[in-house]
């Protein structure tokens, strides 16, 4: 390496000790503390990922953990609606102050920064990724035991930014029973494996309907593929979620914290 001019940008030599890998990590400000971070992802939209994120956060909070939710689905932020939040976020001496739910869950979402929550966010990928990093670094996250990140569907810019920039303990993948969706979920799992992020759980939403009269289980989308996928990819924890109109209504009305029998209580304890 006697001819090395230490200009790595124009060098094609691999395995060189002089070459420095780029640091994509985002860092908390000195007044913030977050012990564990979990991403909630899906290969496609419309599978109830935000509802699953909210239920996991509620389970953690009711178990006595100081809990936070970062709504990183910038172009489709629905976490504030699920928790009945509408006030705009304020800035403080040490950073932006999260909104606080009735259970004491700290929440940050772009919809809590917009004057009109129905305004579209028409931004390109790098800007979206930058906002997520700001949510991590410029928000005052005080003594959080666990944070759940509601990620956008798919394997695009924002998901890549989160995988590379934030200290994920692991991810939970949300799916629905259809064979096609299962194939798309595999893409999300393979992306996580590529980025060396452990997939710690798999939730199949809309898995079945339970007859209110006889208790019979009906699977409107066919037989579940969740256990097969879990075995195939070595995912340790799985959960099946029923289609529940009352649960959906509670989420739409901002009452997700009022749900008494959280269907993800056991699953949340397993992954935490």
Digit-coded pLDDT (tens) for 214-223: 989 999 988 8
Structure tokens at 194: 């590529």
Residue segments in the chain with a per-residue pLDDT below the cut of 70 = 1-21, 179-182
Q: What is the DSSP letter of 139?
A: B
pLDDT of residue 1: 47
- Work out the angle at residue 269's Cα, subtended by the Cα atoms of residues 38 and 169, and round it to the nearest 5 degrees: 20
Digit-coded pLDDT (tens) for 74-91: 888 999 999 999 989 998
pLDDT of residue 11: 63
Tell me which residue has tokens 């056991």.
266
CA 162 to chain centre: 10
Domains identified in the chain and CATH numbers: 38-271 (3.40.50.300)
pLDDT of residue 19: 55
> Which run of H or E residues covers position 53?
helix 49-62
Report how far residue 198's alpha carbon sits from residue 185's, in angstroms, rounded to the nearest whole number. 15
User: Is the model's pTM score more than 0.75?
Assistant: yes
pLDDT of residue 120: 75
Structure tokens at 210: 């339970």
């Amino acid at each position: 390496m006697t001819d090395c001019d230490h200009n790595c940008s124009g060098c094609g030599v691999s395995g060189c000790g002089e070459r420095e890998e780029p640091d994509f990590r985002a860092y908390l400000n000195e007044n913030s503390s977050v012990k564990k971070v979990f991403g909630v992802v899906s290969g496609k939209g419309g599978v109830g990922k935000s509802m699953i994120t909210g239920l996991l956060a509620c389970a953690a909070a009711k178990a006595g953990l100081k809990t936070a939710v970062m709504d990183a689905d910038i172009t489709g932020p629905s976490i504030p609606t699920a928790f009945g939040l509408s006030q705009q976020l304020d800035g403080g001496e040490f950073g932006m102050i999260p909104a606080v739910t009735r259970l004491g869950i700290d929440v940050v979402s772009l919809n809590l920064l917009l004057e009109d929550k129905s305004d579209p966010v028409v931004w390109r990928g790098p800007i979206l990724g930058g906002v997520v990093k700001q949510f991590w670094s410029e928000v005052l996250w005080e003594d959080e035991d666990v944070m759940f990140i509601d990620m956008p569907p798919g394997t695009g810019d924002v998901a890549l930014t989160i995988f590379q920039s934030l200290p994920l303990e692991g991810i939970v993948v949300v799916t629905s029973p259809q064979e096609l969706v299962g194939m798309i979920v595999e893409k999300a799992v393979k992306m996580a494996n590529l980025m060396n992020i452990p997939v710690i759980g798999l939730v199949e939403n809309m898995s079945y309907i339970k007859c209110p009269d006889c208790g019979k289980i009906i699977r409107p989308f066919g037989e579940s593929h969740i256990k097969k996928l879990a075995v195939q990819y070595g995912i340790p924890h799985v959960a099946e979620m029923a289609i529940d109109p009352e649960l959906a209504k509670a989420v739409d009305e901002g009452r997700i914290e009022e749900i008494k029998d959280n269907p993800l209580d056991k699953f949340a304890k397993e992954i935490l």
